[in-house]
Amino acid sequence: MSNYREEQLQDISKRFQIYGEILHAEPCKIGHINETYTATYAQGGINVRYIHQKINRHVFKSPNEVMDNLMRVTTHIRSRLEAESVQDLTRRVLIVVPTRTGESYFVNADGDFWRTFVFVEGVRSFESVESSQQAFEAGKAFGAFQNYLSDLEGKRLFETIPRFHDTRHRFDTLLQAVQRDRLNRAKNASTEIEFCRQHEAIVDVILKGLESGEIPERVTHNDTKFNNVMMDRKTGESMCVVDLDTVMPGSVLYDFGDMVRTTTSPTLEDERDLSRVNMRMDIFQKLAQGYLSTAGSFLTRAEKDLLAFSGKLISFTIGIRFLTDYLDGDHYFRVHRQGHNLDRARTQFKLVQSIIEQEEAMQRFVDQL
Ligand code: GN1
Ligand code: MG
Protein backbone atom coordinates (compact mmCIF):
# COMPACT_ATOMS: atom_id res chain seq x y z
CA MET A 1 0.00 0.00 0.00
CA SER A 2 1.30 3.48 -0.77
CA ASN A 3 2.48 5.65 2.15
CA TYR A 4 -0.27 8.11 1.48
CA ARG A 5 -2.92 5.46 1.87
CA GLU A 6 -1.20 4.02 4.92
CA GLU A 7 -1.22 7.40 6.65
CA GLN A 8 -4.76 8.03 5.61
CA LEU A 9 -5.89 4.72 7.08
CA GLN A 10 -3.94 5.32 10.28
CA ASP A 11 -5.92 8.50 10.66
CA ILE A 12 -9.24 6.88 9.72
CA SER A 13 -8.66 4.02 12.14
CA LYS A 14 -8.67 6.44 15.09
CA ARG A 15 -12.02 7.92 14.19
CA PHE A 16 -14.23 4.92 14.82
CA GLN A 17 -15.24 3.04 17.92
CA ILE A 18 -12.58 0.40 17.51
CA TYR A 19 -10.57 -0.14 20.65
CA GLY A 20 -7.46 -1.70 19.19
CA GLU A 21 -4.35 -0.79 17.23
CA ILE A 22 -4.35 -1.15 13.49
CA LEU A 23 -1.78 -3.74 12.37
CA HIS A 24 -2.22 -3.66 8.62
CA ALA A 25 -4.74 -3.00 5.89
CA GLU A 26 -5.22 -4.38 2.39
CA PRO A 27 -7.18 -2.86 -0.46
CA CYS A 28 -10.12 -5.00 -1.50
CA LYS A 29 -10.42 -5.18 -5.28
CA ILE A 30 -14.06 -6.16 -5.57
CA GLY A 31 -16.41 -3.50 -6.95
CA HIS A 32 -16.04 -0.79 -9.56
CA ILE A 33 -17.03 2.22 -7.45
CA ASN A 34 -15.95 2.66 -3.82
CA GLU A 35 -12.48 2.31 -2.28
CA THR A 36 -12.47 -0.52 0.25
CA TYR A 37 -9.90 -1.81 2.76
CA THR A 38 -9.78 -4.80 5.03
CA ALA A 39 -7.99 -3.73 8.21
CA THR A 40 -6.67 -5.97 10.97
CA TYR A 41 -6.53 -4.69 14.53
CA ALA A 42 -4.98 -6.10 17.69
CA GLN A 43 -7.86 -5.82 20.12
CA GLY A 44 -8.06 -7.30 23.60
CA GLY A 45 -5.42 -9.87 22.80
CA ILE A 46 -6.81 -11.19 19.53
CA ASN A 47 -6.79 -9.96 15.97
CA VAL A 48 -10.07 -8.51 14.76
CA ARG A 49 -10.89 -7.31 11.26
CA TYR A 50 -12.97 -4.38 10.06
CA ILE A 51 -13.85 -2.91 6.69
CA HIS A 52 -13.03 0.75 6.05
CA GLN A 53 -14.60 2.23 2.98
CA LYS A 54 -14.41 5.57 1.24
CA ILE A 55 -17.62 6.46 -0.54
CA ASN A 56 -17.20 7.55 -4.16
CA ARG A 57 -18.46 11.14 -4.15
CA HIS A 58 -18.50 11.39 -7.91
CA VAL A 59 -21.10 8.59 -7.99
CA PHE A 60 -22.92 9.28 -4.72
CA LYS A 61 -23.56 13.01 -4.57
CA SER A 62 -25.12 12.91 -1.08
CA PRO A 63 -23.16 10.38 0.97
CA ASN A 64 -25.05 11.45 4.11
CA GLU A 65 -28.27 10.22 2.48
CA VAL A 66 -26.57 6.98 1.55
CA MET A 67 -25.67 6.53 5.20
CA ASP A 68 -29.12 7.52 6.41
CA ASN A 69 -30.64 4.79 4.21
CA LEU A 70 -27.99 2.30 5.22
CA MET A 71 -28.60 2.80 8.94
CA ARG A 72 -32.36 2.47 8.59
CA VAL A 73 -32.09 -0.62 6.44
CA THR A 74 -29.50 -2.49 8.51
CA THR A 75 -31.20 -1.61 11.79
CA HIS A 76 -34.52 -2.82 10.47
CA ILE A 77 -33.15 -6.11 9.15
CA ARG A 78 -31.32 -6.66 12.40
CA SER A 79 -34.51 -6.24 14.40
CA ARG A 80 -36.35 -8.66 12.11
CA LEU A 81 -33.58 -11.21 12.58
CA GLU A 82 -33.67 -10.70 16.34
CA ALA A 83 -37.43 -11.18 16.36
CA GLU A 84 -36.91 -14.50 14.59
CA SER A 85 -34.13 -15.43 17.05
CA VAL A 86 -31.78 -16.03 14.15
CA GLN A 87 -28.36 -17.32 15.19
CA ASP A 88 -25.08 -15.74 14.14
CA LEU A 89 -26.69 -12.35 13.75
CA THR A 90 -23.50 -10.36 13.16
CA ARG A 91 -22.84 -12.44 10.06
CA ARG A 92 -26.41 -12.11 8.77
CA VAL A 93 -26.55 -8.37 8.24
CA LEU A 94 -23.91 -5.68 7.87
CA ILE A 95 -23.10 -3.83 11.06
CA VAL A 96 -21.94 -0.23 10.89
CA VAL A 97 -19.32 0.74 13.48
CA PRO A 98 -20.03 4.29 14.69
CA THR A 99 -17.43 7.02 14.90
CA ARG A 100 -16.11 8.08 18.28
CA THR A 101 -18.65 10.88 18.26
CA GLY A 102 -21.49 8.49 17.50
CA GLU A 103 -22.01 9.22 13.79
CA SER A 104 -22.34 6.60 11.10
CA TYR A 105 -19.58 8.15 8.99
CA PHE A 106 -16.52 10.34 9.27
CA VAL A 107 -15.67 13.20 6.91
CA ASN A 108 -11.92 13.85 6.68
CA ALA A 109 -10.07 17.06 5.78
CA ASP A 110 -10.36 16.28 2.06
CA GLY A 111 -14.14 16.11 2.41
CA ASP A 112 -14.15 12.34 1.84
CA PHE A 113 -16.77 10.21 3.57
CA TRP A 114 -15.51 7.12 5.36
CA ARG A 115 -17.50 4.40 7.09
CA THR A 116 -16.59 1.22 8.88
CA PHE A 117 -18.23 -2.20 9.04
CA VAL A 118 -17.69 -5.26 11.17
CA PHE A 119 -15.84 -7.73 8.95
CA VAL A 120 -17.94 -10.81 8.34
CA GLU A 121 -15.58 -13.73 8.96
CA GLY A 122 -15.75 -17.16 7.43
CA VAL A 123 -17.52 -16.12 4.25
CA ARG A 124 -16.49 -15.48 0.69
CA SER A 125 -18.01 -14.22 -2.50
CA PHE A 126 -17.54 -15.48 -6.04
CA GLU A 127 -17.19 -13.65 -9.33
CA SER A 128 -19.09 -16.30 -11.24
CA VAL A 129 -21.34 -19.18 -10.25
CA GLU A 130 -19.58 -22.49 -9.70
CA SER A 131 -22.64 -24.67 -9.04
CA SER A 132 -26.37 -24.38 -9.47
CA GLN A 133 -26.71 -24.54 -5.69
CA GLN A 134 -24.86 -21.22 -5.50
CA ALA A 135 -27.42 -19.68 -7.83
CA PHE A 136 -30.17 -20.97 -5.55
CA GLU A 137 -28.42 -19.40 -2.56
CA ALA A 138 -28.06 -16.06 -4.34
CA GLY A 139 -31.72 -15.95 -5.29
CA LYS A 140 -32.72 -16.93 -1.78
CA ALA A 141 -30.49 -14.26 -0.21
CA PHE A 142 -31.76 -11.34 -2.26
CA GLY A 143 -35.36 -12.50 -1.97
CA ALA A 144 -34.95 -12.62 1.81
CA PHE A 145 -33.40 -9.18 1.77
CA GLN A 146 -36.42 -7.75 -0.06
CA ASN A 147 -38.71 -9.64 2.26
CA TYR A 148 -37.06 -8.19 5.37
CA LEU A 149 -37.51 -4.71 3.98
CA SER A 150 -41.10 -5.19 2.87
CA ASP A 151 -42.34 -3.78 6.19
CA LEU A 152 -39.85 -0.94 6.59
CA GLU A 153 -41.76 1.95 8.10
CA GLY A 154 -41.28 5.69 7.89
CA LYS A 155 -40.48 8.08 5.10
CA ARG A 156 -39.51 6.92 1.62
CA LEU A 157 -35.81 6.07 1.38
CA PHE A 158 -33.59 8.58 -0.39
CA GLU A 159 -32.80 7.95 -4.02
CA THR A 160 -29.05 7.75 -3.62
CA ILE A 161 -28.53 7.83 -7.37
CA PRO A 162 -31.46 9.54 -9.08
CA ARG A 163 -32.86 7.66 -12.08
CA PHE A 164 -30.52 4.77 -11.41
CA HIS A 165 -32.72 2.20 -13.13
CA ASP A 166 -34.52 4.61 -15.41
CA THR A 167 -33.85 2.54 -18.48
CA ARG A 168 -35.29 5.14 -20.86
CA HIS A 169 -32.93 7.72 -19.39
CA ARG A 170 -29.99 5.31 -19.75
CA PHE A 171 -30.90 4.72 -23.37
CA ASP A 172 -31.19 8.43 -24.15
CA THR A 173 -27.89 9.11 -22.39
CA LEU A 174 -26.26 6.56 -24.67
CA LEU A 175 -27.63 8.28 -27.75
CA GLN A 176 -26.24 11.58 -26.50
CA ALA A 177 -22.83 10.01 -25.98
CA VAL A 178 -22.96 8.60 -29.51
CA GLN A 179 -23.90 12.02 -30.82
CA ARG A 180 -21.05 13.74 -28.95
CA ASP A 181 -18.53 11.01 -29.64
CA ARG A 182 -15.96 13.01 -27.66
CA LEU A 183 -13.10 10.58 -28.23
CA ASN A 184 -13.99 9.40 -31.69
CA ARG A 185 -14.68 5.93 -30.34
CA ALA A 186 -18.13 5.35 -31.81
CA LYS A 187 -16.56 3.87 -34.91
CA ASN A 188 -15.20 1.00 -32.78
CA ALA A 189 -18.64 0.26 -31.41
CA SER A 190 -20.92 0.56 -34.41
CA THR A 191 -22.24 -3.01 -34.11
CA GLU A 192 -23.05 -2.50 -30.44
CA ILE A 193 -24.71 0.86 -31.01
CA GLU A 194 -26.83 -0.70 -33.74
CA PHE A 195 -27.78 -3.54 -31.40
CA CYS A 196 -29.03 -1.00 -28.87
CA ARG A 197 -31.11 0.84 -31.43
CA GLN A 198 -32.72 -2.40 -32.53
CA HIS A 199 -33.82 -3.30 -29.04
CA GLU A 200 -34.87 0.14 -27.89
CA ALA A 201 -38.50 -0.90 -27.31
CA ILE A 202 -37.75 -3.01 -24.25
CA VAL A 203 -36.52 -0.07 -22.15
CA ASP A 204 -40.03 1.25 -21.45
CA VAL A 205 -41.78 -1.93 -20.32
CA ILE A 206 -41.10 -1.88 -16.57
CA LEU A 207 -41.17 1.92 -16.39
CA LYS A 208 -44.68 1.89 -17.80
CA GLY A 209 -45.76 -0.78 -15.32
CA LEU A 210 -44.39 1.31 -12.45
CA GLU A 211 -46.07 4.41 -13.76
CA SER A 212 -49.48 2.78 -14.10
CA GLY A 213 -49.11 1.13 -10.70
CA GLU A 214 -49.33 -2.36 -12.16
CA ILE A 215 -45.84 -3.01 -10.88
CA PRO A 216 -45.46 -1.87 -7.26
CA GLU A 217 -42.62 0.26 -6.00
CA ARG A 218 -40.77 -1.54 -3.21
CA VAL A 219 -37.56 -1.19 -1.24
CA THR A 220 -34.98 -3.01 -3.32
CA HIS A 221 -31.24 -3.61 -3.37
CA ASN A 222 -30.54 -2.41 -6.91
CA ASP A 223 -27.06 -3.90 -7.24
CA THR A 224 -27.69 -7.61 -6.89
CA LYS A 225 -24.47 -8.79 -8.48
CA PHE A 226 -23.56 -12.32 -7.57
CA ASN A 227 -20.37 -11.13 -5.89
CA ASN A 228 -22.46 -9.16 -3.42
CA VAL A 229 -23.65 -12.38 -1.77
CA MET A 230 -21.50 -13.61 1.09
CA MET A 231 -21.43 -17.40 1.35
CA ASP A 232 -20.31 -19.40 4.34
CA ARG A 233 -16.92 -20.96 3.56
CA LYS A 234 -17.84 -24.28 5.17
CA THR A 235 -21.48 -24.83 4.30
CA GLY A 236 -21.84 -22.71 1.15
CA GLU A 237 -24.99 -21.18 2.62
CA SER A 238 -25.63 -17.51 1.80
CA MET A 239 -25.12 -15.51 4.99
CA CYS A 240 -25.78 -11.91 3.97
CA VAL A 241 -25.77 -9.50 1.07
CA VAL A 242 -23.50 -6.46 0.95
CA ASP A 243 -23.06 -3.27 -1.05
CA LEU A 244 -26.11 -1.46 0.28
CA ASP A 245 -25.48 2.00 -1.17
CA THR A 246 -28.19 1.73 -3.77
CA VAL A 247 -30.86 0.27 -1.51
CA MET A 248 -33.77 2.57 -2.35
CA PRO A 249 -37.24 2.58 -3.86
CA GLY A 250 -37.35 0.45 -6.99
CA SER A 251 -38.75 -2.64 -8.63
CA VAL A 252 -37.92 -6.19 -7.57
CA LEU A 253 -37.60 -6.92 -11.27
CA TYR A 254 -34.41 -4.91 -11.52
CA ASP A 255 -32.99 -6.96 -8.67
CA PHE A 256 -33.97 -10.27 -10.17
CA GLY A 257 -32.74 -9.15 -13.59
CA ASP A 258 -29.28 -8.36 -12.26
CA MET A 259 -29.13 -11.77 -10.60
CA VAL A 260 -29.86 -13.36 -13.98
CA ARG A 261 -27.19 -11.19 -15.56
CA THR A 262 -24.50 -12.11 -13.06
CA THR A 263 -25.24 -15.75 -12.33
CA THR A 264 -26.40 -17.53 -15.45
CA SER A 265 -23.37 -17.17 -17.72
CA PRO A 266 -20.28 -19.21 -16.80
CA THR A 267 -18.15 -16.20 -17.71
CA LEU A 268 -17.10 -12.97 -16.03
CA GLU A 269 -18.78 -9.73 -16.94
CA ASP A 270 -15.82 -8.69 -19.12
CA GLU A 271 -15.26 -12.01 -20.93
CA ARG A 272 -13.74 -11.43 -24.36
CA ASP A 273 -14.52 -14.85 -25.82
CA LEU A 274 -18.17 -14.22 -26.59
CA SER A 275 -18.77 -17.80 -27.64
CA ARG A 276 -18.52 -18.67 -23.94
CA VAL A 277 -21.17 -16.16 -22.85
CA ASN A 278 -24.48 -17.95 -22.45
CA MET A 279 -27.57 -18.01 -20.32
CA ARG A 280 -27.60 -21.49 -18.76
CA MET A 281 -31.10 -22.79 -18.19
CA ASP A 282 -30.25 -25.08 -15.28
CA ILE A 283 -28.65 -22.19 -13.41
CA PHE A 284 -31.59 -19.91 -14.17
CA GLN A 285 -34.00 -22.50 -12.83
CA LYS A 286 -32.14 -22.81 -9.54
CA LEU A 287 -31.87 -19.05 -9.25
CA ALA A 288 -35.61 -18.65 -9.78
CA GLN A 289 -36.38 -21.40 -7.28
CA GLY A 290 -34.13 -19.81 -4.67
CA TYR A 291 -35.59 -16.38 -5.27
CA LEU A 292 -39.20 -17.53 -5.10
CA SER A 293 -38.48 -19.53 -1.94
CA THR A 294 -38.11 -16.22 -0.09
CA ALA A 295 -39.87 -13.67 -2.34
CA GLY A 296 -42.70 -15.82 -3.67
CA SER A 297 -45.01 -14.87 -0.81
CA PHE A 298 -45.17 -11.17 -1.70
CA LEU A 299 -44.65 -11.00 -5.48
CA THR A 300 -47.64 -10.04 -7.57
CA ARG A 301 -48.71 -11.77 -10.77
CA ALA A 302 -47.48 -8.82 -12.86
CA GLU A 303 -44.04 -9.08 -11.29
CA LYS A 304 -43.83 -12.84 -11.74
CA ASP A 305 -44.83 -12.52 -15.38
CA LEU A 306 -41.78 -10.38 -16.12
CA LEU A 307 -39.05 -12.33 -14.32
CA ALA A 308 -37.45 -13.77 -17.47
CA PHE A 309 -37.85 -10.46 -19.27
CA SER A 310 -36.09 -8.66 -16.42
CA GLY A 311 -32.88 -10.62 -17.03
CA LYS A 312 -32.86 -9.44 -20.61
CA LEU A 313 -33.67 -5.86 -19.69
CA ILE A 314 -31.02 -5.49 -17.01
CA SER A 315 -28.29 -7.12 -19.10
CA PHE A 316 -29.24 -4.71 -21.87
CA THR A 317 -29.25 -1.71 -19.54
CA ILE A 318 -25.92 -2.45 -17.88
CA GLY A 319 -24.50 -3.02 -21.35
CA ILE A 320 -25.79 0.41 -22.34
CA ARG A 321 -24.12 1.93 -19.29
CA PHE A 322 -20.76 0.28 -20.07
CA LEU A 323 -21.01 1.39 -23.68
CA THR A 324 -21.89 4.96 -22.69
CA ASP A 325 -18.93 5.09 -20.33
CA TYR A 326 -16.64 3.76 -23.05
CA LEU A 327 -17.78 6.49 -25.43
CA ASP A 328 -17.48 9.16 -22.74
CA GLY A 329 -13.94 8.21 -21.71
CA ASP A 330 -14.31 5.68 -18.86
CA HIS A 331 -15.11 8.07 -16.04
CA TYR A 332 -17.65 5.98 -14.19
CA PHE A 333 -16.61 2.33 -14.08
CA ARG A 334 -13.04 1.66 -13.05
CA VAL A 335 -11.20 0.12 -16.01
CA HIS A 336 -8.14 -2.12 -15.97
CA ARG A 337 -7.29 -2.24 -19.65
CA GLN A 338 -7.93 -0.41 -22.89
CA GLY A 339 -11.37 -0.99 -24.28
CA HIS A 340 -12.46 -2.59 -21.02
CA ASN A 341 -15.88 -0.97 -20.95
CA LEU A 342 -16.47 -1.90 -24.59
CA ASP A 343 -15.59 -5.53 -23.78
CA ARG A 344 -18.02 -5.41 -20.87
CA ALA A 345 -20.77 -4.00 -23.10
CA ARG A 346 -20.21 -6.71 -25.73
CA THR A 347 -20.48 -9.40 -23.08
CA GLN A 348 -23.80 -8.00 -21.86
CA PHE A 349 -25.24 -7.83 -25.37
CA LYS A 350 -24.20 -11.40 -26.09
CA LEU A 351 -26.04 -12.41 -22.94
CA VAL A 352 -29.11 -10.46 -24.06
CA GLN A 353 -29.02 -12.42 -27.31
CA SER A 354 -28.78 -15.69 -25.45
CA ILE A 355 -31.71 -14.74 -23.20
CA ILE A 356 -33.84 -13.75 -26.18
CA GLU A 357 -33.35 -17.25 -27.59
CA GLN A 358 -34.49 -18.87 -24.35
CA GLU A 359 -36.85 -16.29 -22.87
CA GLU A 360 -40.08 -18.20 -23.46
CA ALA A 361 -38.74 -21.38 -21.90
CA MET A 362 -37.39 -19.39 -18.96
CA GLN A 363 -40.75 -17.78 -18.30
CA ARG A 364 -42.59 -21.10 -18.72
CA PHE A 365 -40.43 -22.51 -15.97
CA VAL A 366 -41.17 -19.59 -13.66
CA ASP A 367 -44.90 -19.87 -14.35
CA GLN A 368 -45.09 -23.38 -12.99
CA LEU A 369 -43.24 -22.60 -9.75
C1 GN1 B 1 -21.21 -1.17 -10.23
O2 GN1 B 1 -19.18 -1.35 -7.91
P3 GN1 B 1 -20.06 -2.49 -8.20
O4 GN1 B 1 -19.36 -3.50 -9.01
O5 GN1 B 1 -20.70 -3.08 -6.99
C6 GN1 B 1 -22.50 -0.38 -10.41
C7 GN1 B 1 -23.65 -1.31 -10.75
C8 GN1 B 1 -23.30 -2.12 -11.98
C9 GN1 B 1 -22.00 -2.85 -11.75
C10 GN1 B 1 -21.57 -3.57 -13.00
C11 GN1 B 1 -23.37 2.32 -7.99
O12 GN1 B 1 -21.31 -1.96 -9.09
O13 GN1 B 1 -24.81 -0.57 -11.02
O14 GN1 B 1 -24.31 -3.06 -12.26
O15 GN1 B 1 -20.95 -1.96 -11.37
N16 GN1 B 1 -22.81 0.36 -9.22
C17 GN1 B 1 -23.13 1.66 -9.27
O18 GN1 B 1 -20.57 -4.48 -12.69
O19 GN1 B 1 -23.23 2.28 -10.32
MG1 MG C 1 -22.09 -1.84 -6.12
132-367 maps to CATH 3.90.1200.10: yes
Residue 231 confidence (pLDDT) = 98
Assess contact for 115 and 67: CB atoms under 8 A.
yes
As a whole number of angstroms, the longest Cα–Cα distance in the chain is 62
Helix (H) or strand (E) segment spanning residue 52: strand 46-54
Ligand 2 centre from 154 Cα, in Å?
A: 25
Q: Which residue type, as a one-letter code, is found at position 351?
A: L
Residue 286 confidence (pLDDT) = 98
Residue 4 confidence (pLDDT) = 60
Q: State if residue 205 touches ligand 1 by the CB under 6 angstroms criterion.
A: no
Assess contact for 218 and 356: CB atoms under 8 A.
no
pTM of the model: 0.95
Ligand 1 centre from 269 Cα, in Å?
A: 11
Q: State if residue 269 touches ligand 1 by the CB under 6 angstroms criterion.
A: yes
Record: fold of 3-60+96-121: Phosphorylase Kinase; domain 1 (3.30.200)
Residue 29 confidence (pLDDT) = 78
Ligand nearest to the CA of 66: 1
Q: Which residue type, as a one-letter code, is found at position 216?
A: P
In whole angstroms, what is the distance from residue 350 CA to residue 133 CA? 24
Residue 32 confidence (pLDDT) = 82
Ligand 2 centre from 2 Cα, in Å?
A: 25
In the chain, domain spans: 3-60+96-121, 132-367
**C-alpha distances in angstroms, 319 versus 167, 240, 333?**
11, 27, 12
Residue 28 confidence (pLDDT) = 87
Residue 132 confidence (pLDDT) = 97
H-type alpha helices, 1-128:
3-13, 63-83
**Is it true that 3-60+96-121 and 132-367 share their CATH fold?**
no
Which atom of ligand 1 lies closest to the CA of 243?
Answer: 5
Assess contact for 258 and 314: CB atoms under 8 A.
yes
Residue 126 confidence (pLDDT) = 96
Nearest to 53, CA basis, from 73, 33, 72: 33
Residues measured by CB to lie within 5 Å of ligand 2, the ion? 223, 243
Which segments in the chain show pLDDT lower than 70? 1-4
**CA-proximal residue: ligand 1, atom 1 (nearest):** 32
